Structure 1
Amino acid sequence: MRILAILLSLSFSLTISAQDYGFGKVSKEELQEKFNPLDSSANATYLYKNRRTYFVYRQEEGFSLVTDVQERIKIYNQEGFDKATKAILLYDYAGDSEKISGFKAYTYNLIDGKVEEDKLKNDGIFKTKYNEYYEQTKFTMPNIKEGSVIEYKYSIESPFYWNVDEFVFQHDIPVKKLEAYFEAPEYFNFKSNTKGFLSVVPKNETKNDKITFNYKERNTSMGGGTTFSSSDLDFVKYVSSYDLSNIPALKEEPYVNNIDNYRSAVKYELSYTKFPQAPLKYFSTTWEDVVKTIYESPNFGGELDKTGYYDDEVDALIASVSDPLSRTGLIFNFVKSQVKWNGYNGKYTNDGVRKAFKDHVGNVAEINLMLTSMLRYAGLNAYPVLVSTRDNGIPLFPTRDGYNYVITYVKFPQGGMLLDATNKFSMPNVLPFRALNWQGRIITEHGNSELIDLYPKIDSKDQITMMVDLHENGDIEGGFRSIKTNHDAMLFRQRYDDVDQADFLEKLENKYDGLEVSEFKVVNTDELSKPIMESYKLFEESQADIIGNKIYFSPLFHLKTTVNPFKLEKREFPVDFGYPSSSVYRVSVNLPEGYQVETLPEPKIIALPDDLGSFKYIIASQKTSIQLTVEYKINQAIILPFYYETLKEYFKQLIEKENEQIVLTKTL
Structure 2
Amino acid sequence: MKIITILFCILISANTFSQNYKFGKVSKEELSENVCPIDSSANAVYLYKYRNTYYEYDKVNGFKLITEIHERVKIYNQEGFNHATKQIRLYKMSAGNHEKISTIKAQTYNLEEEKIVIDKLNKSSIFETEANKYNDKIKFTMPNIKPGSVIEYKYKITSPFWSKVDEFVFQHSIPIKKLEASFEAPEYYSFKVNTKGFLTITPKIEYERGFITFINKTRNTGNGRTSASATTISKSELEYSKHISKYISENIPALKDEPYVNNINNYRASVKYELSYTKFPNSIAETYSTTWGDVVERIYESPSFGEELKKTSYFKKDIDALVGSVSDPATKLGLIYNFVKSQVKWNGYYGFYADDVREAYKEHVGSSGDINLMLTAMLRYAGLNANPVLVSTRTHGVPLFPTREGYNYVVTCVKLQDDSVALLDATEQYAAPNILPFRALNWQGRIVAENGGSQLVDLYPKTKSNNSITMMVKIDKEGTLEGSYRSIKTNHIALSFRAKYNDADKDEFLEKIENKGLEISDYDVKNSEDLSKPIIESYKFVKESQADIIGDKMYFSPLFHLKVSENPFKLEKREFPIDFGYPSVISHRVIINIPEGYKIENLPEPAAIGLPDNLGSFKFKVVGCGNTIQVSVVSQINQSIISPLYYEALKEYFNKFIQKEDEQIVLTKG
TMscore range, shorter length: over 0.9
> In 1, distance between residues paired with 2:209 and 2:510?
68
| TM norm structure 2 | 0.96
Per the alignment, in what secondary structure is the counterpart of residue 289 of structure 1?
helix
Q: Give the aligned partner of residue 602 of structure 2.
A: 599
Residue 16 of structure 1: CA displacement?
12
> In 2, distance between residues paired with 1:331 and 1:16?
74
- Paired AA for residue 24 in structure 1: G
- Paired AA for residue 154 in structure 2: K
Per the alignment, in what secondary structure is the counterpart of residue 555 of structure 1?
coil
- The reply on whether 1:409 has 2:410 as its aligned counterpart is no
- The reply on whether 1:49 has 2:49 as its aligned counterpart is yes
Q: Give the aligned partner of residue 10 of structure 2.
A: none
Match of 1:560 among 554, 563, 572: 563
Alignment of 1:598-637 (within 5 A): 598-637=601-640
- Paired AA for residue 468 in structure 2: Q
- The reply on whether 1:28 has 2:28 as its aligned counterpart is yes
Q: Give the aligned partner of residue 129 of structure 2.
A: 128
Segments of structure 1 that go 5 or more residues without pairing to the other structure are 1-12
Alignment of 1:480-629 (within 5 A): 480-510=485-515, 512=516, 514-629=517-632
> In 2, distance between residues paired with 1:527 and 1:14?
73
- Paired AA for residue 389 in structure 2: V
Match of 2:387 among 379, 383, 390: 383
Q: Give the aligned partner of residue 4 of structure 2.
A: none
Residue 584 of structure 1: CA displacement?
0.8
Q: Give the aligned partner of residue 101 of structure 1.
A: 102
> In 1, distance between residues paired with 2:436 and 2:530?
17
Q: Give the aligned partner of residue 5 of structure 1.
A: none
> In 2, distance between residues paired with 1:405 and 1:500?
30
> In 1, distance between residues paired with 2:295 and 2:117?
52
Residue 579 of structure 1: CA displacement?
0.2
- The reply on whether 1:451 has 2:456 as its aligned counterpart is yes
Distance 1:439 1:665, change over 3 A: same
Residue 102 of structure 1: CA displacement?
1.1
Per the alignment, in what secondary structure is the counterpart of residue 179 of structure 1?
strand
Segments of structure 2 that go 5 or more residues without pairing to the other structure are 1-12
> In 1, distance between residues paired with 2:428 and 2:403?
27
CA-to-partner distance for each residue in 1:173-213, whole Å, 9 max, x for gaps? 00000000000000111111000000121111211110111
CA-to-partner distance for each residue in 1:317-374, whole Å, 9 max, x for gaps? 1122101111111111111111111111101012x11111111111111111111111
Alignment of 1:223-622 (within 5 A): 223-350=228-355, 352-414=356-418, 415-510=420-515, 512=516, 514-622=517-625
Cα pair 1:16 1:176 within 8 Å, conserved: no
- Paired AA for residue 210 in structure 1: F
> In 2, distance between residues paired with 1:594 and 1:285?
78
Cα-Cα RMSD: 1.3
- Paired AA for residue 595 in structure 2: P
| TM norm structure 1 | 0.96
> In 2, distance between residues paired with 1:534 and 1:99?
52
CA-to-partner distance for each residue in 1:468-494, whole Å, 9 max, x for gaps? 110110110110011000000000000
Per the alignment, in what secondary structure is the counterpart of residue 447 of structure 1?
coil
CA-to-partner distance for each residue in 1:107-141, whole Å, 9 max, x for gaps? 01111111111100111111111111111110000
- The reply on whether 1:153 has 2:158 as its aligned counterpart is no
- Paired AA for residue 30 in structure 2: E
- The reply on whether 1:656 has 2:659 as its aligned counterpart is yes
Residue 227 of structure 1: CA displacement?
3.0
- Paired AA for residue 502 in structure 2: D
Cα pair 1:522 1:534 within 8 Å, conserved: yes
> In 2, distance between residues paired with 1:666 and 1:304?
74
CA-to-partner distance for each residue in 1:481-539, whole Å, 9 max, x for gaps? 110000000000000122111100111122x2x11111110000111010011001111
Q: Give the aligned partner of residue 38 of structure 2.
A: 38
> In 1, distance between residues paired with 2:212 and 2:378?
53
> In 2, distance between residues paired with 1:541 and 1:560?
16
> In 2, distance between residues paired with 1:293 and 1:200?
32
Q: Give the aligned partner of residue 82 of structure 1.
A: 82
CA-to-partner distance for each residue in 1:50-77, whole Å, 9 max, x for gaps? 0000001110111110000000000000
- The reply on whether 1:647 has 2:650 as its aligned counterpart is yes
Q: Percent identity?
A: 62
> In 2, distance between residues paired with 1:546 and 1:14?
66
Residue 224 of structure 1: CA displacement?
3.1
Per the alignment, in what secondary structure is the counterpart of residue 80 of structure 1?
helix
> In 1, distance between residues paired with 2:20 and 2:275?
35
> In 2, distance between residues paired with 1:508 and 1:482?
14
- Paired AA for residue 436 in structure 1: L
Cα pair 1:470 1:476 within 8 Å, conserved: yes
- Paired AA for residue 615 in structure 1: F
> In 1, distance between residues paired with 2:17 and 2:526?
66
- Paired AA for residue 338 in structure 1: Q
Cα pair 1:16 1:177 within 8 Å, conserved: no
Residue 216 of structure 1: CA displacement?
3.0
- Paired AA for residue 20 in structure 2: D
> In 1, distance between residues paired with 2:437 and 2:14?
51
> In 1, distance between residues paired with 2:161 and 2:503?
41
Cα pair 1:475 1:543 within 8 Å, conserved: yes
> In 1, distance between residues paired with 2:113 and 2:497?
56
> In 1, distance between residues paired with 2:628 and 2:80?
51
Per the alignment, in what secondary structure is the counterpart of residue 527 of structure 1?
coil
Residue 228 of structure 1: CA displacement?
2.5
Q: Give the aligned partner of residue 5 of structure 2.
A: none
Per the alignment, in what secondary structure is the counterpart of residue 653 of structure 1?
helix
> In 2, distance between residues paired with 1:54 and 1:17?
32
Residue 17 of structure 1: CA displacement?
8.6
- Paired AA for residue 398 in structure 1: P
- Paired AA for residue 42 in structure 1: A
Residue 218 of structure 1: CA displacement?
3.7
> In 1, distance between residues paired with 2:521 and 2:268?
46
- Paired AA for residue 157 in structure 2: I
